[in-house]
Structure 1
């Protein structure tokens, strides 16, 4: 009889601007099992990238991060999240502007909500950010997987201008700041 079982995984849904950036970072995190780019917390059913970019759906670009909580905690995922994006800019990350680029943590349990609010309060109290954290914390709703060409985008297009000048520096910042969390 085979007693081997797959490790239990949990899901974190995070909006930190363009999902190509956030996906590339979390694919590099030890303890992360899978990352999927998608759209969340809007009102349209089955939104397309074009609809989301026009602001027609209310969705944010997000990543769904499947992780092994025995190897990395939800809190640690959030610590990375708050380093690789600016949680103080409303509906904007760098030159990406619109509600689809808002900062958000879309939770899957009361415990995730508690931890998210706690981490935000600690971040503000520590002075680790300039300004007020505008990251919304809400239960995940109306999630839709992004089109296939958005999945694993940075790995497939590292030479593309946006990837080279926006995504790559975020990945490098993660690797320098969290050396012990980089996937081996």
Structure 2
């Protein structure tokens, strides 16, 4: 189900990951990406052709321009997607493509983006093995028309990217084996069981996380999968914890809910399939306009200082992103 921001906040980043056909096709599937365009970036010549980039020393990298809604997807999430479809330790080679035009890179227009990318790289690559360029955008030239949306027009065309990964969970998930109903009830309690498994709702202003704003992450009480960041939480006055968006776009799924007199959009955890709450278009405009109204009993809070020991250390850089 398509959940749109009420107040989009457009930003732009440029990513290089080998042949731009597959990179573009992958990112077109990601929620929050508003538009894509392929082209040639940070080279030595003006208005290069594809033939020149491939066979002459132009210095350009095959690059995809991504315009995204920062209220729906953070730059850090985009970079995590890039890292899953490239080999960040391979210099000038991705898949079967070899040459400087196939180098990997992140090219930014805003200086603040550099620190975000480098902080994330440091967290996921503590041994500094990445050879991904992180540089300001010097120039970007549109590729020829036939290259734009190439795999849409040529579905059997060459692609070095595993496009199906766009639909798979982005974040590393804790090992989870679904318990039988009685064992789960015993572990999480009656109220949490009825909420997560039978779509019950806790009474407003009674949940422990309604007025809770400590730094950390909120995970599914059933499966342990990460769902929300404290930096996206705000006081909506509705009586339940309110978030502007999930930790990453595919952390949750959506279902139509007609159980009341009006249609609502139910929010469920993607991995554990727990009922979490609902999402409404009446949130804070400066945070995207959405209100993820979530039951406290569906969640477990992990403090920032405990994230490393509990297996969520790789997500700490996400806490530093702008809300």
TM range (shorter): 0.7 to 0.9
> TM-score when scaled to structure 1?
0.86
2:165 match: 173
Identify which of 150, 153, 159 aligns with 1:153: 150
1:10-159 residue pairs with structure 2 within 5 A?
10-125=11-126, 132-159=129-156
Which of the pair is proportionally richer in helix? 1
- Count of paired positions: 171
Give me the TM-score of the superposition, normalised by structure 2.
0.50
Q: Secondary structure at the match of 2:168?
A: helix
SS in 2 for 1:78: helix
- 1:36-91 CA-to-partner distances (Å, cap 9, x unmatched) read 00000101000110011114210000000000000001110001000111111000
Is the Cα–Cα contact under 8 Å of residues 169 and 251 in structure 2 kept in the other structure? Answer: no
More strand by share: 2
Distance 2:7 2:41 in 1: 27
Q: Which residue of 1 aligns with 2:259?
A: none
- Would you identify which runs of 4 or more consecutive aligned residues in structure 1 move more than 6 Å? none
Q: Secondary structure at the match of 1:77?
A: helix
Alpha-carbon RMSD: 2.1
Name the CA distance, whole Å, in 2 between partners of 1:181 and 1:91: 33
Q: Structure 2: which 5+ runs fail to align?
A: 1-5, 171-248, 255-323
